[in-house]
Amino acid sequence: MPFANRAEAGRKLAARLAGYRDRSPVILALPRGGVPVAAEIAAALGAPLDLVLVRKIGVPYEPELAMGAVVDGGASFVVRNEDVIRLLGIVDADFQAACDVELAEIERRRRRYLGSRQRAEIAGCTAIVVDDGIATGATTRAALHATRARNPKRLVLAVPVAPTDSLGELGDLVDDIVCLESHEVFGAIGYYCRDFRQVTDEEVVEILGRFSAPQYRDVELPAPRG
């Protein structure tokens, strides 16, 4: 296995991302598994650590199979995996019901993890989106779309491991991808990490507590498009 645990994967990613240290980086983790990885990167780059609250929308009778993903609440962003939806005959009502369940979980996590903590401002900065790996790519795609809408100067995806085809599909959404291991025959993310136990809510809160709340920066905002 290439990684002992998520922290080691994060340290290896941090070494590859060292060139971004002086480019106003903000580290955005996908909870829960991406948080220990992202913490190592934020510490090494001296960068703020924040979250992208995203949830996979699973098929009702096979929840591990993603038929889409949703980011945040309120002005939420939804990605549909049309191939899965069409193949399995998922109707809109069932998709929306599953989406609503995940939105409720996102709100629970927002209250539990962030409370009144100030969120990071990423407009004009380098946003580095971090997870502990990519499987189907649905949650990653949703997170990247939502992050791009916040007008970062540069958008980077950083993951320890991913399927080669998923990386190819995500390339158009970002300015840079840093992935330590990519494989055409992939399996599951846990195959590449010796200690891949589930990260708990308490661990996420503890890790965030090591980092002061993000401070708004004086940055040059990008000119409006059009």
> What does the pLDDT look like over 21-35, one tens digit per residue?
999 899 999 999 999
Q: Does residue 34 form part of some domain?
A: yes
pLDDT of residue 76: 73
Q: Does residue 60 form part of some domain?
A: no
For the record, the structure tokens of 192 come out as 């590449």
Compute the average pLDDT of residues 62-76: 81
Average the pLDDT over each of 17-31, 67-81, 121-135 and give the range with the smallest value.
67-81
Say yes or no to pLDDT of 216 above 60: no
Q: Does residue 103 form part of some domain?
A: no
For the record, the structure tokens of 16 come out as 């590859």
Q: Does residue 133 form part of some domain?
A: yes
User: Which residue bears the tokens 């549909």?
Assistant: 80
Q: Does residue 99 form part of some domain?
A: no
Say yes or no to pLDDT of 131 above 70: yes
Strand, helix or coil at 59? Answer: strand
Say yes or no to pLDDT of 170 above 90: yes
Alpha-carbon span 164 to 43, nearest angstrom: 28
Alpha-carbon span 41 to 36, nearest angstrom: 9
Query: In 3D, which of 202, 160, 194 has the Cα closest to residue 31?
Result: 202
What is the Cβ-side half-sphere exposure of residue 171, based on CA atoms within 13 angstroms? 7
Range of the domain at 149: 6-53+115-209
- Residue 145's Cβ-count burial label (10 Å; 0-12, 13-18, 19+) is middle
Model confidence band, residue 226 (pLDDT cutoffs 50, 70, 90): very low
Query: In 3D, which of 44, 5, 1 has the Cα closest to residue 25?
Result: 44
Say yes or no to pLDDT of 224 above 50: no
Say yes or no to pLDDT of 135 above 90: no
Model confidence band, residue 65 (pLDDT cutoffs 50, 70, 90): confident
Model confidence band, residue 74 (pLDDT cutoffs 50, 70, 90): low
Alpha-carbon span 185 to 200, nearest angstrom: 29
Model confidence band, residue 116 (pLDDT cutoffs 50, 70, 90): confident
Looking at residue 195, its amino acid is: D
Compute the average pLDDT of residues 81-109: 94
Number of domains in the chain: 1
Alpha-carbon span 54 to 78, nearest angstrom: 10
Beta bridge partners of 163: 183
Model confidence band, residue 218 (pLDDT cutoffs 50, 70, 90): very low
Q: The domain that contains 127 carries what CATH number?
A: 3.40.50.2020
Compute the average pLDDT of residues 143-166: 94
Q: Does residue 179 form part of some domain?
A: yes
Compute the average pLDDT of residues 216-220: 44
Alpha-carbon span 44 to 40, nearest angstrom: 6
For the chain, what percent of residues have pLDDT higher than 70?
Answer: 92
Q: Does residue 61 form part of some domain?
A: no
Q: Does residue 88 form part of some domain?
A: no
**Strand ranges (E), the chain:** 25-29, 49-51, 54-59, 62-71, 77-80, 126-130, 154-163, 176-183
Looking at residue 8, its amino acid is: E
